[in-house]
């Protein structure tokens, strides 16, 4: 088990390095010149050359990537080209807002999805199962921005129950913060809830065709006890994987949701940095998203090994 965990961590680090390299080089290959975009109308050849020298843009791309990666390993993400401030001071408060948003959505979505998935499997083919399947399929078919704008139209414009913008600031009271975040939380919850619900239901129904379930039925065990006591432990691996992947999506995929509701998270910071052509900030945000995805993927593999002893053996 220790060897498996070590190998998964090593693969995760290699994946993180490759993703960060691709992301850095991809932003470097974007058309246009950063120094010219920053200077605007004052972009004379002398000023452009001076700014490129001060930003290190005269160095080759591979050398700038090595310097950037070395700085990231030491906690130095560089400075923002738009504001001149250290990127870490801009990133950490926004990251805290995004993590708080994702945590609130996860506290609602994960228990609700698992409960509805188990109930759908218990009542397969009945009205509750058909209703939950149709609703989850409809939500999956809609993009996040459409769900968000629909909630704004219904709950904010027509009913006036909730604010349409997720405006939060430091020192804001918890009740006011949660009220301002209600629509972003609801949007994220609906989007990830459907995926986890359908995966839970499909995994449980697939396990119900196994021979040990048939033996449990022959012994006279009822359907509820079979699912809760026998099927769930064996189906925990795929369920844990989809839950953790959706948790990663709540952080990295919140870009659209934060943009719709103007929520001051890391996704909104990324969009603003792209608009201002602030490449160091874009690269830092991409690195954070990659760390979240790779870390939670690795955690999903380790937890699946812990909950399913059969995976600890090669045969």
Q: What is the pTM of this model?
A: 0.77
The whole-number average pLDDT for the span 145-170 is 81
Is there a domain that residue 264 lies in? Answer: yes
> In which domain, by residue range, is 302 found?
87-312
The whole-number average pLDDT for the span 14-21 is 83
Q: Give residue 311's pLDDT.
A: 60
pLDDT above 60: residue 315: no
- For residues 94 and 272, give the distance between their C-alpha atoms in angstroms, rounded to a whole number: 12
Is there a domain that residue 97 lies in? Answer: yes
**Widest Cα–Cα separation across the chain:** 86
Q: Give residue 167's pLDDT.
A: 76
Q: Give residue 309's pLDDT.
A: 63
Which pLDDT tens digit goes with each residue over 173-186? 778 888 888 888 88
Is there a domain that residue 26 lies in? Answer: no
Which pLDDT tens digit goes with each residue over 275-308? 777 778 888 888 888 888 888 877 777 777 776 6
Is there a domain that residue 129 lies in? Answer: yes
pLDDT above 60: residue 262: yes
Task: Name the least confident of 156-160, 250-254, 272-276, 286-290.
Answer: 250-254
Is there a domain that residue 134 lies in? Answer: yes
Is there a domain that residue 111 lies in? Answer: yes
Is there a domain that residue 67 lies in? Answer: no
The whole-number average pLDDT for the span 186-202 is 83
Q: Per the structure, how many domains does the chain have?
A: 1
Is there a domain that residue 77 lies in? Answer: no
- For residues 110 and 102, give the distance between their C-alpha atoms in angstroms, rounded to a whole number: 11
Partner residues linked to 86 by β-bridges? 79
| pLDDT band at 51; cut points 50, 70, 90 | low
Q: For 156-193, b where at least 16 C-beta lie within 10 A, e where not — what string?
A: beeeeebbbebebeeeeeeeebeebbbbbbbbbbbbbb
- For residues 275 and 182, give the distance between their C-alpha atoms in angstroms, rounded to a whole number: 27
Between 313 and 15, the more confident residue is 15
Average pLDDT, rounded, for the chain? 78
Q: Give residue 229's pLDDT.
A: 76
Residue 239: what are its φ and ψ, rounded to 5°? -65, -45
The whole-number average pLDDT for the span 30-42 is 64
- For residues 294 and 299, give the distance between their C-alpha atoms in angstroms, rounded to a whole number: 9
| pLDDT band at 33; cut points 50, 70, 90 | low
- Torsion, Cα 241 245 250 255, to 10 degrees, reads -170
pLDDT above 70: residue 30: no
Which pLDDT tens digit goes with each residue over 65-95? 777 778 777 777 777 777 778 888 888 888 8
| DSSP letters for the chain | -HHHHHHHHHHHHHHHHHHHHHHHHHHHTSSS-HHHHHHGGG--HHHHHHHHHHHTTTS-HHHHHHHHHHHHHTT---B-TTT-SBHHHHHHHHHHHHHHHHHHHHHHHHHHHHHHHHHHHHTTTSHHHHHHHHHHHHHHTS-HHHHHHHHIIIIIIIS--S-SS----TT--HHHHHHHTHHHHHHHHHHHHHHHHHHHHHHHHHHTTSHHHHHHHHTT--HHHIIIIIIHHHTHHHHHHHHHHHHHHHHHTHHHHHHHHT--SHHHHHHHHHHTT-HHHHHHHHHHHHHHHHHHHHHHHHHHHHH-GGGGS--
Which CATH number covers residue 289? 1.10.3720.10
Q: Give residue 257's pLDDT.
A: 83
Share of the chain above pLDDT 70, in %: 87
Residue 305: what are its φ and ψ, rounded to 5°? -65, -40
């Amino acid at each position: 088990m220790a060897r498996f965990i070590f190998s998964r961590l090593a693969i995760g680090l290699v994946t993180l390095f490759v993703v960060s390299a691709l992301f850095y080089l991809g932003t470097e290959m974007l058309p246009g010149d950063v120094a010219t975009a920053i200077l605007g109308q004052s972009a004379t050849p002398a000023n452009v050359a001076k700014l490129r020298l001060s930003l290190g843009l005269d160095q080759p791309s591979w050398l700038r990537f090595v310097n950037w990666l070395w700085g990231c390993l030491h906690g130095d993400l560089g400075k923002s080209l738009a504001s001149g401030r250290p990127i870490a001071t801009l990133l950490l408060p926004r990251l805290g807002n995004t993590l708080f948003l994702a945590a609130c959505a996860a506290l609602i979505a994960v228990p609700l999805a698992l409960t509805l998935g188990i109930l759908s499997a218990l009542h397969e083919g009945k009205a509750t199962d058909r209703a939950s399947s149709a609703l989850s399929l409809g939500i999956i078919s809609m993009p996040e921005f459409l769900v968000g704008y629909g909630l704004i139209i219904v709950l904010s414009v027509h009913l006036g129950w909730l604010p349409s913008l997720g405006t939060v600031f430091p020192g804001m009271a918890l009740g006011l913060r949660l009220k301002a975040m209600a629509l972003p939380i609801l949007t994220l919850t609906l989007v990830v809830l459907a995926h986890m619900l359908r995966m839970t239901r499909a995994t449980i129904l697939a396990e119900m065709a196994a021979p040990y379930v048939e033996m449990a039925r022959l012994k006279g065990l009822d359907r509820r006890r079979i699912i809760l006591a026998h099927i769930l432990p064996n189906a925990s691996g795929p369920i844990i994987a989809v839950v953790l992947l959706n948790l990663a999506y709540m952080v990295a995929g919140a870009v659209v949701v934060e943009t719709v509701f103007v929520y001051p998270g890391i996704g909104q910071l990324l969009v603003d940095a792209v608009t201002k052509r602030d490449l160091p900030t874009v690269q830092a945000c991409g690195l954070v998203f990659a760390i979240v995805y790779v870390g939670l993927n690795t955690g999903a593999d380790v937890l699946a090994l812990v909950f399913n002893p059969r995976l600890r053996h090669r045969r």
